């Protein structure tokens, strides 16, 4: 708040009418953005066991902003809210049912604000609500969502953002049996292995070089085989999810690319779409030669529209 005043962004904090707080975990308690009152704040705090690094910090932030800006409207925007429309068979794991009843073990997903925005924006652009949309949020964290008639029907992240496709430092889906195996081999705790899977895997883990897709692309240009493998694995997991959602949705009207990699890497977009050729997806190579722009990049004879849509 000091900097807002010192940099003359506002003359008085009273000028700020609203504050949006991004909250990682809203679980099944929130399916949309809400104004924060005491009950909402308490619920966000109660959900801390499901996001121990994020929700407690958000509570501290909300309290601080409320203290300095008591007259502003404070809203909580949840990463999970958009995914609350998933059907039971999408969000339930085939684990003992009592884990769900006792500990709320289920798929929650993440990046919901981005998936909601991108799917809504493209529907507005096309002037249609009844669309089958696959949104590829490809960034340092990556997730893919299937959206039908404006509602999320499945998403690639899970109980936590670790699941789904390969990411900058996260492994994406793995066989969990490798956790106790490596724990024993390396004499590590479950916390240390989880740290490896979240922070030392993905692009970074496979390439042993970098979590940044630009470094991976440069490594490939220099003939680095591990960079090639890291990107091939990434593309495979992205394509796997698109294909899975294509079947789930019974086809696809629009495929959207967004976030750091999705918006900027023409090479990754091209490699992903090339692998979807058997489903009729086809890029217009010239249109694809762009960065960070809202643009249609599908060829005229593509079975589905393909868009880049900055989130």
Work out how close the CB of 165 gets to ligand AMP at its nearest, in angstroms, rounded to a whole number. Answer: 13
Check binding of 207 to ligand AMP (CB under 6 A). Answer: no
Give whichever of 84 and 311 is closer to ligand AMP, judged by the CB atom.
311
DSSP category for residue 94: S
Check binding of 265 to ligand AMP (CB under 6 A). Answer: yes
CB 82 within 8 A of CB 116: yes
Alpha-carbon distance of 44 to 33, in angstroms, equals 13
Among 44, 204, 259, 297, binds ligand AMP (CB under 6 A): 259
Give the position of tokens 């794991």.
Answer: 93
Q: What is the 3-state secondary structure (H, E, C) of 239-260?
A: HHHHHHHHHHHCCCCEEEEEHH
Of 287, 290, 289, nearest to 298 (Cα)? 287
Check binding of 212 to ligand AMP (CB under 6 A). Answer: yes
Check binding of 218 to ligand AMP (CB under 6 A). Answer: no
Choices 31-39, 86-94, 209-217, 246-254 (CB under 6 A): range interacting with ligand AMP:
209-217
Among 25, 119, 264, 298, binds ligand AMP (CB under 6 A): 264
Alpha-carbon distance of 287 to 306, in angstroms, equals 10
Work out how close the CB of 116 gets to ligand AMP at its nearest, in angstroms, rounded to a whole number. Answer: 16
Contact set for ligand AMP, span 137-166 (CB under 6 A): 139-141
CB 305 within 8 A of CB 255: yes
Q: Which residues bind ligand AMP (CB under 6 A)?
A: 139-141, 168, 212-214, 259-261, 264-265, 291
């Amino acid at each position: 708040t000091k900097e807002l005043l010192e940099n003359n962004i506002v003359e008085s904090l009273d000028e700020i009418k609203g504050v949006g707080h991004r909250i990682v975990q809203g679980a099944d308690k929130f399916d949309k953005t809400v104004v924060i009152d005491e009950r909402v704040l308490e619920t966000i705090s109660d959900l801390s066991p499901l996001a121990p690094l994020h929700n407690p910090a958000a509570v501290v932030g909300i309290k601080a902003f409320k203290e300095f800006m008591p007259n502003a409207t404070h809203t909580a925007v949840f990463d999970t809210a958009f995914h609350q429309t998933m059907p039971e068979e999408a969000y339930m794991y085939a684990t003992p049912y009592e884990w769900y009843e006792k500990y709320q073990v289920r798929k929650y997903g993440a990046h919901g604000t981005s998936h909601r925005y991108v799917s809504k924006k493209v529907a507005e652009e096309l002037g249609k609500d009844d669309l089958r949309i696959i949104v590829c949020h490809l960034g340092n964290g990556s997730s893919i969502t299937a959206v039908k008639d404006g509602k999320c029907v499945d998403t690639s992240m899970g109980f936590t953002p670790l699941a789904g496709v390969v990411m900058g430092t996260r492994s994406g889906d793995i066989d969990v049996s490798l956790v106790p195996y490596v724990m024993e081999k390396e004499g590590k705790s479950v916390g240390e292995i989880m740290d490896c899977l979240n922070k030392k895997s993905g692009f970074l883990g496979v390439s042993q070089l970098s979590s940044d897709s630009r470094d991976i692309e440069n490594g490939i240009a220099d003939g680095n085989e591990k960079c090639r493998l890291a990107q091939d694995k990434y593309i495979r997991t992205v394509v796997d999810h698109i294909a899975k959602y294509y079947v789930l949705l019974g086809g696809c009207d629009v495929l959207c690319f967004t976030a750091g990699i999705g918006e900027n890497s023409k090479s990754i977009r091209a490699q992903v779409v090339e692998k979807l050729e058997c489903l009729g997806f086809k890029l217009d190579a010239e249109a694809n030669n762009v960065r960070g722009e809202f643009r249609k990049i599908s060829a005229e004879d593509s079975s589905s529209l393909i868009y880049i849509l900055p989130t």
